[in-house]
Amino acid sequence: MAGSTTISNTSNLSKFTSLDQNGCIMAEYIWIDAVSGIRGKTKTLFKEPAGPEDLPEWNFDGSSTGQAPGDNSDVYLRPVAIFPDPIRQKPNIIVLCETWNPDGTPNKYNYRHDCNRVMEANKEQVPWFGLEQEYTVFGVDGWPYGWPKGGFPGPQGPYYCAVGTGNVYCRDIVEAHYKACLYAGIKISGINAEVLPSQWEFQVGPCVGIEMGDHLWTARYLLHRVAEEFGVKISFHPKPIPGDWNGSGLHTNVSTAEMRVEGGMKHIESALEKLSKRHKEHIAVYGSDNELRLTGKHETGSIDTFSYGVANRGASIRIPRECAHKGYGYFEDRRPSSNGDPYQITGIMIETICGGAPSE
């Protein structure tokens, strides 16, 4: 496998991280590239910003990231959210940005822009989301971290929510990421080891509207960044290992204001009715290679058919048992794949169940 195999030498770096910054702030501007990767570069600021609107716009060479042609390569970075930086630590910050073209249109890969318009148009419904981000950790050799070199661990069974040597893979990395998210103010709601050895999950939510995509993308950035320190790679591929091994999803838990109160079940049912009519449109933006995962096996529904059921992990949509019992709450869309874009997923969800944004 191509790529650098040099692991960052954090113990040497730590001597420098405590040096005085003379009042300056390192702002890591991050953005999403053409292939759902994350890029970032740093700017020195001379005072602490009060909010994203207080931060300067910036730009980058879009021809180097597949986001612009070489003859018109500037892409602009517009700050939209600020997080304390757990890597460099306070007062340094991470600045999540939208990407914009020089002609004032959103970049092709700026899915946040449309998502935000849909969320704004349906603000009174106060949409809540909770995303369950599954991922797999790989060594630099391209084989899952901790697996026997070129071989396979024992079959699935002992690894899900596992405790104990032999059953647990790479907990150090996962714990570091959890702490980093808490430090950054990400609304991370938990973690668990998954069914495939060296596969894990973290949950972010409940988040309101556009905040869901902002927090999940920043949590993904932090995961890649933490992984650098450990010399491992994070894969969001929905079927990292072919065969009788679980894939990775991005289960999307959803509720609107009227679903969360008594009598909410009829609003959940009406949402499911609308969702059943747009299965294909949803699948189209629920991540790539998802057909390798949504086979109807390994706790998934089939990619070709829409289905739902109470406590059914083999359906497209699951209504949690507790919610069915109470008669209100939320539902879980199990279709999105781990590499899906949360802006696209939450955007189409609210468009389908609440209605689209007025045209620009």
Distance of CA 172 to the CA centre of its chain: 20
Contact between 341 and Mn ion (CB under 5 A)?
Answer: no
Residue ranges in 173-192 that form contacts with ligand ADP under rule CB under 6 A = 189
Q: Taking CB under 6 A as the rule, does residue 198 contact ligand ADP?
A: no
Tokens at 18, concatenated: 């405590």
Stretch that binds ligand ADP, among 3-11, 20-28, 152-160, 325-333 (CB under 6 A): 325-333
128 binds, among ligand ADP, Mn ion, none (CB under 5 to 8 A by kind): ligand ADP
- Judged by beta carbon distances under 5 to 8 A according to partner kind, the member of Mn ion, ligand ADP, none in contact with residue 218 is none
Q: Is the peptide bond before 206 cis (omega within 30 degrees of 0)?
A: yes
- Total of chain residues touching ligand ADP, rule CB under 6 A: 16
The reply on whether position 328 binds ligand ADP by CB under 6 A is no
Whether the CB-CB separation of 332 and 316 falls below 8 Å is answered with: no
Nearest to 147 by CA among 138, 156, 158: 138
333 contacts Mn ion (rule: CB under 5 A) = no
Among the listed residues 330, 343, 349, 354, the single contact to ligand ADP using CB under 6 A: 330
Tell me if 196 contacts ligand ADP by CB under 6 A: no
- Region 232-251 residues binding Mn ion, contact defined as CB under 5 A: 251
- Whether the bond between 91 and the residue before it is cis, its omega within 30 degrees of 0, is yes
Question: 287 phi and psi, to 5 degrees?
Answer: 110, 155
Between 101 and 307, whose beta carbon lies closer to ligand ADP?
A: 307
The interface with ligand ADP within residues 85-144 (CB under 6 A) comprises 128-130, 132
**326: Cβ contacts below 8 Å, ≥ 6 apart:** none
Q: How far is the CB of 179 from ligand ADP (least distance, A)?
A: 18
Q: Which amino acid is at 198?
A: S
| Closest to ligand ADP by CB, 39 or 318 | 318
In angstroms, what is the minimal distance from the CB of 273 to Mn ion?
Answer: 22
33 binds Mn ion, rule: CB under 5 A: no
Does 132 bind Mn ion (CB under 5 A)? Our answer is: yes
**Shortest reach from residue 292's CB to Mn ion, in Å:** 17
Question: Could you tell me if 234 and 170 are in contact, meaning their C-beta atoms sit under 8 angstroms apart?
Answer: no
- Residue number with CB closer to Mn ion (117 or 251): 251
**247 interacts with ligand ADP by CB under 6 A:** no
292 and 247 Cβ atoms separated by less than 8 Å: yes
Closest to Mn ion by CB, 200 vs 230, is 200
Stretch that binds Mn ion, among 57-65, 154-162, 174-182, 193-201 (CB under 5 A): 193-201
* Cβ-based nearer residue to Mn ion, 93 or 195: 195
Closer to ligand ADP by Cβ: residue 95 or 118: 118
Residues 331-350 touching ligand ADP, rule: CB under 6 A, are 332
Query: Which residues of this chain interact with ligand ADP, rule CB under 6 A?
Result: 128-130, 132, 189, 203, 205-206, 251, 253-255, 260, 329-330, 332
